[in-house]
Every structure is written in structure tokens, then in C-alpha cells.
Structure 1
Amino acid sequence: MGSTRARIAIDAMGGDHAPAEIVAGALRAHEELGVEVLLVGDPAQIEASLKRHGSSHQLQIVPAEGTIEMHEEPLSGLRRKPKASINVAMNLVKSGQADAVVSAGHSGAAMAAALLRLGRLPGIDRPAIGTVLPTQVAGKPVIILDVGANVDCRPKFLEQFAAMGSIYSKYVLGIDDPKVGLLNIGEEESKGNELALRTHQLLQENTNLSFIGNAEGRDVLSGRFDVIVCDGFVGNVLLKFAEAVGEVALQILREELPRGIRGKIGTWLLRPNLKRIKQRMDHAEHGGGLLLGVAGVCIISHGSSQAPSVFNAIRLAMEAVDNRVLDRIQSQYQKQVATPTTDGE
């Protein structure tokens, strides 16, 4: 049960499996986490999904008209469809009727809607999507940002990502002194392109961040770093590759488990261990990414999300609300960023 009764607006029409899987995940979150759920979308389709799941709960449905399709350009789609589900969900947060938004729909539209309706936090030039991944060290996750919001970045953007990621790592993930790394092609500070070289200097000079140097690809999940920053192009490729590796590893594990009666007995005995392995490796267990830097809590989930991913995305939103991530970034951001922001950076 969550420590507060967070009110989460769910874009029920967003995603490959909407609204059925979105509704299923929302129902589970309502029952197990105690969150209040606002299902935003076509009332008839949502009600049909609720009935199919045999729900006795009367979850609140907020009517919306249409959704932003994956082939649509985000800004023009949002303007042409002011009553689309993602627009209505963001307006609920803006008006204070909801504490957070969760969407598995068009990620570009979700980011654009957040910027248009919620706005950026003071001092933040570009919001970033942060995703939490497991590491080799049990119980020690790493947050990586940006994983898709900003394809092109300036050094000052990455410094801001580091500051926001550190605050999230400290207050939500429980890391007392988050260690920051810059994703690069080598450990040496002389390695990398112009963006990496200039960002390294900024992070090194910022005494309010625990920057410990460059992180190579093999270091990302080592547990050495708590926060890793990169531009959204590299981060998105890294995230998708990590998800694929996790899926392959789980498939290999299933295929290599012993067969026959002995195998079944052995698998039964190992069930708790196998469940923990799945929880650490399966990207569905992590729900999605938190859009840090906008004036509201927004979780962007995978377009292919099914009920377990939706449940975990809502849990992620609840944790962000309960731990006052937005307030903490607003109140502590200036302490974390020490360098001036000029157009030349």
C-alpha cells in the first residue's frame, strides 16, 4: 500500500494493447498499491475492458476523444486533437485533479503535451527521460538519462541531467551520495567527441555533483555508477539494446532448464530464485521512464506495454509522488548546478 493516496491519470488509449492491457494494469495498481486511478479515454471502450476483467471497482473514467497515432507528428497532432487522451490527462495534472500521468502511447506526443501543458521547471533547458536499470550489485540500480527525449544535446543539458538524476537517485532510490558517470568511449578524460569533452569539464568542475569520470558501455551495469548521463540518441540505443539482452538471457535460461521430472522438480525448487532473476532482468518490471524537468510527474512507458508494465509504471509514478521528486528538484536544483548557462555551452 502506498504511503499516500496518489491520484494517477492513465492514458487508457495509448499503446499497442490499449485499452485492455492498460485497464488491467490500472486495476491491479488500484487494488495492490491503493492509488486512485483516473482512466482517460473513450468511455465505451474502457467500460468494456473493465467488464471483461470482471472488475467490481467503479474506477473514475474521464472522457476523451481520440489519441495521437504513432505516425502523426506530435505537435500538429496535439493541436488538431485538443481532446485527445494524452492532452486531457496532462490537463488533469495541470489543474491539480491528478498527481501524475502515465502513458504508453506516442512518446513524442507525451513529451510535447507535458511541455505545452505543464511547462519546464525553472532553470531546466531540456527535460530528460530517466530509466532505472538493475546492476551487477544486488539492490543497487542505476538511473540513465537521457534515453530518448533529446537527440541533440549541449554540455549544459547533460549537466542538468546529472543534477536531476542525482536528486532522483538520492531521494527515490535511496543512494546517499550518488556517483555520476558520463557515458563515453573510454575512461580517459581526453576521450570522446566535442560534446563529451566539454561535458566532462563541466561535470568535473561542479563540486555539488559526485562526478567520478567517464563510463564505458561495459560499466553501465557494473554498479560502480548510480547516475549515467548521455544524449537521447545514444541513451535510447543503449536502453533498447539492454532490453533485448535481458529478453535473450531470459529465453536462454528457459531453454537450458533441465527437462523431464527431475527438471520440473528442480525448477519448482528454484522458483523463488527464478522469479528474482526475472524481476532484475525483465524490462517489463521497470515500467518505463520518468520525464524529469517538467512541472509535473509524467511516466512514459513502452508502446508495447502490457498489464505488468502498466502496473509498474503506475508504481513508479506513485513513488515519484510519495517521495516529492518534483518539489525536491525545484528546491535543490540550484544547489546542484553551479556553472552558468550560456549559449556557447
Structure 2
Amino acid sequence: MKIAVDAMGGDFAPQAIVEGVMLAKKNHPDIEFQLYGKEEAIRQYLTDETNITIIHTDEKINSDDEPVKAIRRKKTASMVLAAQAVKEGRADAIFSAGNTGALLAAGLFVVGRIKGIERPGLMSTMPVLTGDQGFDMLDLGANAENKPEHLHQYAVLGSFYAKHVRGIANPRVGLLNNGTEETKGSELTKEAFQLLKAEKSIHFIGNVEARELLTGAADVVVTDGFTGNAVLKTIEGTAMGLMKLIKGSINEAGAKGKVGGFFLKDALYGLKDKMDYSSHGGAVLFGLKAPVIKTHGSTGPEAVSHTISQIHTMLETNVVGQLVAFFEQV
């Protein structure tokens, strides 16, 4: 397996990226890593160069660059070179913590869509409060607007991922809506409901409400990109705010509160870890000819390692190849 890594993407690159690769190497000795970026900056964080190739470039895409223009003008940027390696078959997947819009553009214009997929969707595995299975949700912002046909394809994509990568035998697919009744929602969700209801390749369970997401109501949740991104940010903000609120309450409770907080420390850290969706890996731009994976810009080495494990599973199960075959039949 060969993974092209944009070593210069992210707030703490290349250190966090390279250190994450070093962690992942211990668990996945069968992966060959191609690190794209400034060789001198990358090499200072390498502790083992086995199965590591550095492809030097001084150019990178910044977080404030306009995505499409950056992909077209910065031909030797680390992200672009990594995507080009995937397109030409020199790598099997690309991973970056850099500019999200630019990676989406690189995925679409360089790697390319699977034939039959109209709009690839951005998908992440999100946490649930009970158990550790989580649920896959898409689109999380790759597209601001969607058609019912796009949501139909997201359901097929998400179901494939949940089954082949996460090992769920018969994933429950839900459509995010403002009510569980079939007649509820906008024209988009009403039309999408009928398409999903008629799709024989998925286990569609109907509409699900936002309040049900963290209780494990579905294994796969589909929605339009605008709504999905808003839900994602709401879950992130709620989790962060809740932890700050608990910490503040303990500190304000005086000595007695701090003693209680000491005994609750392990439980609180466990709650924090449960709500951290980065432990499930990065966000997949799903519907492309190869795995294109994005992780948070402020990600650390452990999250990088989790994401590489996710890519390893995607390559090992050939989920993209199975999708290509499925849509060719359709």
C-alpha cells in the first residue's frame, strides 16, 4: 500500500503529520509513505526512514488560498503533487490536514470522480453516547446545495463504507429531517425519501431527527452539505462547550468541588475521548476513484495515526473498487 501524504498541510505541519506517520508505521509495516513537502523540515522529525520516501517541494497551499485557483496555479504544491501521484497510479490514496476546499478541488479535478457519481460527498464517522460504534454522516460540506439524486447516492456510498470499512453487516440508513413522518420536510427531503425507499441495495429506516443522532438512531445519516456542515459544527461546539462548563463548575465549587473533580477525572477524560470523532479517522471525500482523506487542521500525531489506520482499512477492503463496480452495473 502506498499513501501520498501532504506533509505541509495543517496548523502544526510538518511535525504533527510526520510524528503521526511514525506512530502509524508501528501498526502498519505494509504501508509505504510518500511525504510531500520541504525535505529538511520533514527529515528532522523522522525517527525511522524505513518505507519512507520524501518528495521535496518548497511550494504549499495555504489555509487562506482560494481553493480552485490554488490547485490550478500551484502546480508543485505538496497537496497537488500528492494528488497527481494518486492519479498516475504511483500512490493508492492521499491524506492531508491542509486547506479543505483545495483538497476537495484536488480530489475532483486531479483524482477524478467515479463514473456515475454526480457529486462526491464529504463523510465522517461521528460519535454516539452509547457504545463506540458511531455513525457515518454525509454530506458534511463538500456541496452547499444538493438534489434528491445526490442524497440517494450518498446513501449508497455511506452504506458501502459502513459495511466494508466499519464491518456493519446491514447498516441502517436514515435521512436527516425535521420529523420522522414520511410527509415531513422540504421538497428535497420528500423526493429523496422516495428514492431511498425504493433503493434495494440499502437498509433504509426512514427519517431521523437531529436530536436522535448521538443516541445511535442510524448507522448512516444522509443530508445536504449545508445542513450537514451546520450539524457537524453544532456537535463540535456543544461537546467543547459542555466540557468547559463542567470544568468551570468544578473550579467554582471550591475545595469540595475540586476534590470531587479529582475523583471524576478519569470519567471526564473518557467522556471527552468518546465525543472526539477524530479517533474514528478523518473525513473521506467519497465518490472519487481513490481514497481522498482530510483531517482537521489542528490535528495531532495520534489523530494522524488513526486516519492512516482508516485509509489502511479502506485499501485493504477495496471499498472504492467495489463502488466502481457497483456504479458501472447501475
Please confirm whether the aligned pair reaches a TM-score higher than 0.5, indicating the same fold: yes
1:220 corresponds to? 213
Q: Does 1:91 align with 2:113?
A: no
Amino acid at match of 1:300: K
The 3-state SS of whatever aligns with 2:143 is coil
Task: Give the alignment partner of residue 303 of structure 2, picking from 309, 324, 329.
Answer: 309
2:315 corresponds to? 321
User: Contact 2:127–2:277 at 8 Å: present in 1 too?
Assistant: no
User: Contact 2:181–2:207 at 8 Å: present in 1 too?
Assistant: yes
User: Contact 1:163–1:333 at 8 Å: present in 2 too?
Assistant: no
% identity of equivalent residues:
37
Amino acid at match of 1:108: G
Alignment of 1:1-345 (within 5 A): 6-34=1-29, 35-50=31-46, 55-57=47-49, 59-252=52-245, 256=250, 259-260=258-259, 264=262, 266=263, 271=266, 276-333=270-327
CA distance in 1, matches of 2:328, 2:131: 32
1:289-314 deviations in whole A, cap 9, x for unaligned? 11110001111111222222222221
CA distance in 2, matches of 1:74, 1:296: 20
Equivalenced residue count is: 322
CA distance in 2, matches of 1:49, 1:290: 26
CA distance in 1, matches of 2:245, 2:278: 18
The CA RMSD over aligned residues, in Å, is 2.1
1:97 positional shift? 2.2
1:195-218 deviations in whole A, cap 9, x for unaligned? 111111111122322111111111
1:254 positional shift? 5.2
Gaps of 5+ in 2: 252-256
The 3-state SS of whatever aligns with 1:129 is strand
1:254 to 1:316, Cα distance in 2 relative to 1, 3 A: farther
1:340 corresponds to? none
TM-score by length of 2: 0.90
Structure 1 moving runs of 4+ over 6 Å: none
User: Contact 1:133–1:141 at 8 Å: present in 2 too?
Assistant: yes
User: Contact 2:115–2:328 at 8 Å: present in 1 too?
Assistant: no
2:254 corresponds to? none
Gaps of 5+ in 1: 1-5, 338-345
1:85-139 deviations in whole A, cap 9, x for unaligned? 1111112222222221111111111111111121111110011111001223313
The 3-state SS of whatever aligns with 2:170 is coil
CA distance in 1, matches of 2:92, 2:214: 31
